Amino acid sequence: MAKKSRRARRRRTPKAAAKPAAIPMPVEEQKDKAIRPSRAVGADSAAQYDYVYGDLKRIAILAGTMFAVLIVLSFVIG
């Protein structure tokens, strides 16, 4: 008994039905999209995230302190 090929088992779907028809936008909406300026991403990111540097310093100091405590405890306990 011969095996059936995979092509024979596939279901055929019409390509036209699977693809939805594109609906054109009204002219007014197209003009509005063209006029809107894009927002500059890096323009004021330094001002928005200025607090991050302080937080990173605090995290680095805490991490260094914890490592120092672990090293001291390893000599005291061990």
Could you read off the pLDDT of 11-64 as tens digits, one per residue? Answer: 665 555 555 566 766 666 666 566 665 665 556 777 888 889 999 999 999 999
Can you give the pTM of this predicted structure?
A: 0.42
Helices (H), 4-77: 6-9, 15-18, 27-35, 45-48, 50-77
Structural domain boundaries in the chain: 48-78
User: Who wins on pLDDT, 9 or 68?
Assistant: 68
Whole-angstrom distance, CA of residue 56 vs CA of residue 51: 9
